[in-house]
Amino acid sequence: MQKETIAVHGGYDNKEGWGTMSVPIAQTTAYAFRDAEHAANLFALKELGPIYSRLTNPTNEVLEKRFAELEGGAAAICVASGQSAIFYAIANVAEAGDNIIISDKLYGGAVTLLAHTIKRFGITAKVFKSADASDLEELIDENTKAIFFESLSNPQIAITDVEKVVEIAQKHGVITVCDNTVATASLFNPIQWGVDIVVHSTSKYTNGQGTAIGGIVVERDGLNDFFKDSKRYYHFNTPDESYHGLVYTDLPLPCFCLRIRLALLRDIGAAQSPFNSWLLLQGLETLALRMEKVSDNTLVIAKYLEAHPKVKSVNYPGLTNSSEYAKAQKYFKDGKASGLVSFEAESYEAAKSIIDSVKLFSVVVNIGDSKSLITHPASTTHSQIPQEKLSKAGINPATVRLSIGLEDTQDLIADLEQAFA
């Protein structure tokens, strides 16, 4: 089935249950067992079914099935936020003494989590250049457990050379984890390019209206076979003491998401609320339409900015002179490059003045809303990062970042025009 169809129907059969057209919200903490044996079977995984909403929930399950299908994966697990999706994907493979390799162009929250917070748990991060992966191979050693990157990075708006990263990772038997939040499941599917694990902050384009926080992890088909005899990933093929000696790769279920659910979600518990899953299901129904419109709108705004005398440079992968243009054409559906565009104003003061003058754009540190948003990274999201590291991360004091929504572009341009004046 095509993605537009999956986004509307995937994972839900309205002939079962109450027959509701809208997926019901299973707003419940726990589930009644038929009898003691049923309960025992569920706990022993002899029978599959809901026990407690920290582990599974029927509304979440619809979102998981639909999302896995959309990304072309074998299974998915939804969690409370994009941050927890990233944490679980990494904590599922790495432990004290291990290392991971992360892209030099990442979301700020991913940097603080992966380079700082998990260091306190004994997992270190090395950084590779995601534009061409030229330094990736030399960073891999026997304790490397994952290579983490964003397909289209926020806020640098740079595209990873996914094919090259995957080729090197497969050569060394290391799994790849791709944050596909900005490109979205509609424009790009990392699993089709050989990526093992896909994570999303569903708070952004998946939701589409800025109404809920959520995250999801998707795994490709075939990981059980890949992990079966792997020394590097021994957790999956040796008994889990915390689950009466369960060996994950022995089960006929996709083992990566299963282990997140049975061990990490059980113990750490960043479970998604079923109401948020329902909001995300509403968002998915229009994802393809929105991403097409958002991408088209953003290209119009990028071209307007490019021609503006008070703009020094524009960064948008949909512009033919962008360093990212060829990669956008290669990887993304119809070359459409999503809704983030940044530009360099004449100075730090000029950037701040634009932010203070816009009326239609909202000054918000979010992306992927149907409403257009504007931020000045140097004075907000990236104000804790020292100057010399800022430019390395592709942020300049005069950089203004826009997340373009669904408004009419003439109105957006009129608003920017008066803000520049």
Write out the residues near ligand PLP by the rule CB under 6 A.
81-83, 107, 109-110, 150, 154, 179, 181-182, 201, 203-204, 213, 215, 367
Least gap, CB of 106 to ligand PLP (angstroms): 8
Least gap, CB of 291 to ligand PLP (angstroms): 15
Least gap, CB of 82 to ligand PLP (angstroms): 2
Name every residue whose Cβ is closer than 8 Å to that of residue 383 and which is 6 or more positions away in sequence: none
Least gap, CB of 232 to ligand PLP (angstroms): 25
Tokens of 249: 């790769």
Q: Nearer Cβ to ligand PLP, position 42 or 328?
A: 328
CA-CA-CA-CA torsion sign (299, 83, 102, 348): positive
Q: Nearer Cβ to ligand PLP, position 149 or 343?
A: 149
Q: Nearer Cβ to ligand PLP, position 189 or 249?
A: 189
Q: Nearer Cβ to ligand PLP, position 198 or 255?
A: 198
- Partners of 340 in the β-ladder: 403
Q: Nearer Cβ to ligand PLP, position 24 or 108?
A: 108
Q: Are 20 and 278 in contact (CB under 8 A)?
A: no
Q: Nearer Cβ to ligand PLP, position 80 or 360?
A: 80
Least gap, CB of 233 to ligand PLP (angstroms): 24
Least gap, CB of 83 to ligand PLP (angstroms): 4
| Closest to 317 (Cα-Cα) out of 307, 304, 332 | 332
Whose CB is nearest to ligand PLP?
82
Distance from C-alpha of 10 to C-alpha of 271, rounded to nearest angstrom: 21
Least gap, CB of 112 to ligand PLP (angstroms): 11
Q: Nearer Cβ to ligand PLP, position 153 or 249?
A: 153
Q: Nearer Cβ to ligand PLP, position 84 or 249?
A: 84
Least gap, CB of 77 to ligand PLP (angstroms): 15
Q: Nearer Cβ to ligand PLP, position 61 or 150?
A: 150
In the chain, the largest separation of any two C-alpha atoms, in whole Å, equals: 74
Least gap, CB of 156 to ligand PLP (angstroms): 10
Q: Nearer Cβ to ligand PLP, position 146 or 182?
A: 182
Distance from C-alpha of 76 to C-alpha of 254, rounded to nearest angstrom: 9
Q: Nearer Cβ to ligand PLP, position 53 or 180?
A: 180
Nearest 5°: phi and psi at 3?
-60, -35
Least gap, CB of 366 to ligand PLP (angstroms): 8
Distance from C-alpha of 33 to C-alpha of 23, rounded to nearest angstrom: 23
Least gap, CB of 40 to ligand PLP (angstroms): 36
